[in-house]
């Protein structure tokens, strides 16, 4: 366990950061599978999300893909919801249900939703309704279980014509970072933080996050990368369901 998680998280952070994501879905899933105290899981995932997406923001924005006005409206509702959810002390079974359901939606997003080559022009009312609702839901998920929500936000930005692929990745990195910070503050106040467990994992994702976001902001194809990470999540879902039954 001491060496397995850092190695796995290095690989995961490399893959996720290459498309502007933090990796929270896979961090959370793997820790749940390996029997880590469920109260530490969200705090750990949020901490790692903070590190990876901060590096991602630097690389994507340095290469000219950052647009603060693209992500700022989503943060209006997501940040307070991430803090509120991070303050909740969920029962373990409820945590597992929310986690499993969220990961199933991640897989649907990667293999079904992502393949829909459609765009839709929103009216002003529809646009703001989408922004506020999506921000609230994704913020809650971030604070409650440690998944930052960028994996849903990025394709929706592209689908609704709000930004390019690289701009969406840059926005996703900032969105995850802000929500992770709000959720982390709330979780830290609850005392759900363990230095000896988290710090080796932080070192691993620094290496993976820097290299992944560097190549992702320049060279890698996001769809190929996401298909690869989807396999990891499917395996995690199967094991989580087996444990709950």
- C-alpha Rg value of the chain to the nearest Å: 16
- 70 Cα distance to chain centroid: 18
Could you list the residue range(s) of the whole structural domain that residue 226 is in?
A: 4-244
Residue 19 has pLDDT above 80, yes or no: no
Residue 149 has pLDDT above 90, yes or no: no
- Number of domains comprising the chain: 1
pLDDT, tens only, 124-147: 888 888 889 989 999 999 888 888
pTM beyond 0.75: the answer is yes
**What mean pLDDT is predicted for residues 156-162?**
76
Q: How many CB atoms lie within 10 A of CB 119?
A: 9
Q: H-helix or E-strand containing 65?
A: none
- 52 Cα distance to chain centroid: 10
- Unique residue bearing structure tokens 């959810």: 85
pLDDT, tens only, 93-120: 888 888 889 889 888 877 876 655 555 6
Q: How many CB atoms lie within 10 A of CB 4?
A: 10
What tokens does 213 get?
Answer: 């976001």
Phi-psi group of 147: left, alpha or beta (phi > 0 → left; psi -120 to 50 → alpha; rest → beta): beta
């Amino acid at each position: 366990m001491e060496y397995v998680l850092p190695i796995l998280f290095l690989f995961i952070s490399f893959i996720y950061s290459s498309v502007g994501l933090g990796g929270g879905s896979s961090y959370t899933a793997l820790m749940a599978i390996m029997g880590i105290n469920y109260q530490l899981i969200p705090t750990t995932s949020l901490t790692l999300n903070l590190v990876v997406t901060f590096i991602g923001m630097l690389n994507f924005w340095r290469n000219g893909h950052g647009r603060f006005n693209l992500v700022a409206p989503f943060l209006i509702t997501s940040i307070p919801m991430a803090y509120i959810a991070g303050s909740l002390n969920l029962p373990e079974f409820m945590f597992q249900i929310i986690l499993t359901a969220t990961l199933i939606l991640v897989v649907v997003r990667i293999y079904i939703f992502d393949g829909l080559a459609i765009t839709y022009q929103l009216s002003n009312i529809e646009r703001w309704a989408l922004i506020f609702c999506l921000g609230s839901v994704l913020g809650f998920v971030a604070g409650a279980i440690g998944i930052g929500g960028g994996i849903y936000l990025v394709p929706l930005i592209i689908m609704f014509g709000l930004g390019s692929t690289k701009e969406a990745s840059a926005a996703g990195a900032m969105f995850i970072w802000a929500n992770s910070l709000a959720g982390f503050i709330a979780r830290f106040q609850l005392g759900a933080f363990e230095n000896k467990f988290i710090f080796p994992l932080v070192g691993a994702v620094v290496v993976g996050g820097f290299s992944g976001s560097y190549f992702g902001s320049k060279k890698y194809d996001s769809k190929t990368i996401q298909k690869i990470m989807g396999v990891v999540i499917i395996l995690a879902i199967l094991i989580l369901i087996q444990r709950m039954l």
